[in-house]
Structures are given as C-alpha cells and as structure tokens.
Amino acid sequence: MLNGIILITIIICVLIFFMVYKRRMLIQMFSLNISHLSREFQGQIEGTADHVVKRMQHQIDQMEFLLDEATQKIEVLGDQIHAAENLIRAMNFPSEEVSGMTQAHRDHQVEKAILLSDDDVKDAALNPEEKAASDADKRRKALEMAQQGCNITDIAKATSMGQGEVMLFLQLNKK
C-alpha cells in the first residue's frame, strides 16, 4: 500500500512536471508564432505603403507633366489671341488709324493668324462622322506607335494630339 501511494505520488509529480513543461512550451510556441505573424503583417503594410507612395509619385509626375503642357498651350493661345486682335484691328480700322503698322507687318500678322487657325478650320469643316473616324484613326495610330515603343512626344506629333491627351489615352488603354 505504501508502495502504491509512493507510485501515485511519483505519477502525480511527473504529470505536474509534464503539464508545466508542456504549458511553458505551448506559451513559447504561441508567442513566437504571434511575433512572426506580427512581423509578417508589418512587412505587408510597409510593402503596401511603398506601393501607394510610388503610385502617388507617378500620379504627381503625370499631373506636373499635364500642367506644363497646359501652360504651353496657354502661351500658344495667348499668342493666337494677340495675333487675332491685331488682325481684327487691321481689318476694322481705317488705314490711317493703323498707320504705325506697316503693310508687311499687317500681312505677316494675317498670315500668322491664318496659319494658327488652320487646324481649327480643318476640324470645323469635318462633319461629326468624319471627325469621329479621324479621331479613331488617331487613337489607333497612337496605340500602334506605343506598342512599337515610341515615346509620348513622337506619338503626339504624329497624331496631332496633345501630349496629355496621348498619356491619358494610353493610360486608359493599358487595362
């Protein structure tokens, strides 16, 4: 009987030791697993943040490019307005009121105004169906050139489209 009590006591002590050891091992395993998961999650968050920052930088670069293009177009429009105003003055006022302007200068202003507005006249002369077909041809040509590796400036010149318009069109057709 005494041997039985000693045996039961030894078994209980071994079980308690085994449970404490297993408990410590389980706690350690879960804490390592949790810290590993938290590091992995932190890495994913940092990767996502880097991706978002790169996309935002790309969008900022694109907006700056469009802003520069808009500024250039504003300057061209300012020149066109100035030439048109000079042309209107030359046509509406008697010659003595514009005597400061030589005939050669007037002719140059008229020629410049005609050249600047030539594309607008061509666009206005097209009916809507022809304009749509012309636009479709420009877009098709822009896509072909982009696939061949041409840069945006070359595509814009070849298709008579603005660089911003080409960029936007190519971005929309990436997907």
Vertex 150 angle, CA 149 and 152, to 5°: 125
What is the structure's pLDDT at 49?
A: 93
What are the pLDDT tens digits along the chain (175 aa)?
778 888 888 889 888 888 888 888 777 777 666 777 788 889 999 999 999 999 999 999 889 888 888 888 898 888 888 888 877 777 765 554 445 556 566 566 556 555 555 455 455 445 667 777 788 888 899 889 999 999 988 998 898 888 888 888 888 887 5
What is the structure's pLDDT at 88?
A: 78
0.85 cut: is pTM over it?
Answer: no
What distance in Å separates the CA atoms of residue 90 and residue 103, rounded to the nearest whole number? 10
132, 139 Cβ separation under 8 angstroms:
no
What is the structure's pLDDT at 104?
A: 62
What distance in Å separates the CA atoms of residue 38 and residue 68, rounded to the nearest whole number? 45
Vertex 137 angle, CA 134 and 138, to 5°: 90
What is the structure's pLDDT at 45?
A: 93
What is the structure's pLDDT at 96?
A: 46
Structure tokens at 92: 């509406």
Domain ranges of the chain: 2-125, 127-175
What is the structure's pLDDT at 108?
A: 63
What is the structure's pLDDT at 126?
A: 52
What is the structure's pLDDT at 161?
A: 86
